Amino acid sequence: MAAHPSETDTQTHPANRIGTSPPRTRAWLHGKVEAEGFPVAEVSDWLERPDTVVWLDLCSPRTEDLRVIGEELSLDPVAVEDAVSRHERAKLDRYDGYAFLNAYVPEMTEGELTLHEISAFVTPRALVTVRQNHGIDVDELLRRWDESPDGDVAEGGPGYLLYELLDMVVDLQMEGVQALDDEADAVEELVFDDKFPVRQIQERSFRLRKNLVALRRVALPMREVVNTLLRRDLRIVSPAMAPYFQDVYDHTLRVGEWTDGLRDLVANLLDTRLALQGNKMNEVMKKVTSWAAIIAVPTAVTGFYGQNVPYPGAQHHAGFIVSTALIVVCSVALYVIFKLRDWL
């Protein structure tokens, strides 16, 4: 049995074994859920009914797996190939009768950023989502749709479903930027810590910059994606849905500005780290120079006089041993002191 009402039963319908998990299907009639979990081959049958909106979700499908839905919706082979290909750039492509969308959802795990790719085909009466892995929570998307008024789906159609999808993607990108912002605060505390752990600062700042570059690369194109959807000449978004997408566009601008600000902050942190490290080195050099000056005084005196005055143990074997031991002990003591103070 299917774990969720929207999952198709692959035991009853063996032909629906597409990808790494059962496909999910749902149909709305006049804004209300009419059916769930029906076979993929019945998508075209539902689309023949008036006032019906269909959603289909596939996880990790292969190119041959998409042939069925490609035939059902008359999808271009190029768009189908982009949907199954990994590491496609975030974009919106316009085809005859439908649009193809590609976006990324970030996930922070123990300081490492992972990007989960999702694609979508948007037709006048259907939305097909294609996930590359299970990293994207489809149940959260269904919850958003279920909590919306029935009139939104009835009036907006696939445009409203697409809005909730984009809103979820941008919200997760904003959460990713927030996580990187928190990491930047942690690195800042390390930079101004009295212990000044150089290796830890370098490692975390490098990982922060790498994650920020990766997130910025997939977040900035979202502005162009949403802006293209808002173009009236393309007629992808109905006038009633324009304010919804305008709100998503504002969020994409905020994400972009946030990433730009973080990039400048990280650069300033690195400059500050170098400046503090230089100041610390100057302090160490000042202390070492002071110690060298102190040691140079008795060295100059004893060297100048050549120890030609009697002293305890002079001209005796025991005196040589004592003076040698004294040199070794003092040298080791100074080495230990400098090592403990991180001067060596």
Domain boundaries of the chain, sorted by first residue? 14-275, 310-344
pLDDT tens column, 99-115: 999 999 999 888 889 99
Give the 3-state secondary structure of residue 245.
Answer: helix
Please tell me the distance from the alpha carbon of residue 341 to that of residue 287, in angstroms, as a whole number. Answer: 10
**Alpha helices of the chain — where are they, by DSSP H?**
43-47, 67-73, 77-84, 138-147, 150-156, 158-191, 198-219, 221-229, 242-305, 317-340
Does the pLDDT of residue 208 top 50, yes or no? yes
Q: In what order do the strands lie in the sheet with 52-59?
A: 32-36, 24-29, 52-59, 126-131, 112-123, 98-109, 91-95
Q: Residue 169: what pLDDT?
A: 95
Give the 3-state secondary structure of residue 38.
Answer: coil
Its pTM stands at 0.79
Please tell me the distance from the alpha carbon of residue 289 to that of residue 208, in angstroms, as a whole number. Answer: 37
For the chain, report the end-to-end CA distance as a whole number of angstroms: 68
Tell me, what DSSP letter sits at residue 7?
B
Does the pLDDT of residue 228 top 80, yes or no? yes
The torsion angle over the Cα atoms of residues 63, 64, 68 and 73, rounded to 10 degrees, is: 30
* Candidates 3.40.50.2000, 3.30.460.20, 3.30.450.20, 3.40.50.10860; CATH matching 14-275: 3.30.460.20
* Residue 170 vs residue 302, higher pLDDT: 170
Specify the pairing of strand 52-59 against strand 126-131. parallel
Among the residue ranges 95-109, 244-258, 261-275, 282-296, the one predicted with the least confidence is: 282-296
Q: Residue 116: what pLDDT?
A: 93
pLDDT tens column, 23-78: 889 999 888 889 988 888 888 888 888 889 999 998 888 777 777 777 777 888 88
Give the 3-state secondary structure of residue 98.
Answer: strand
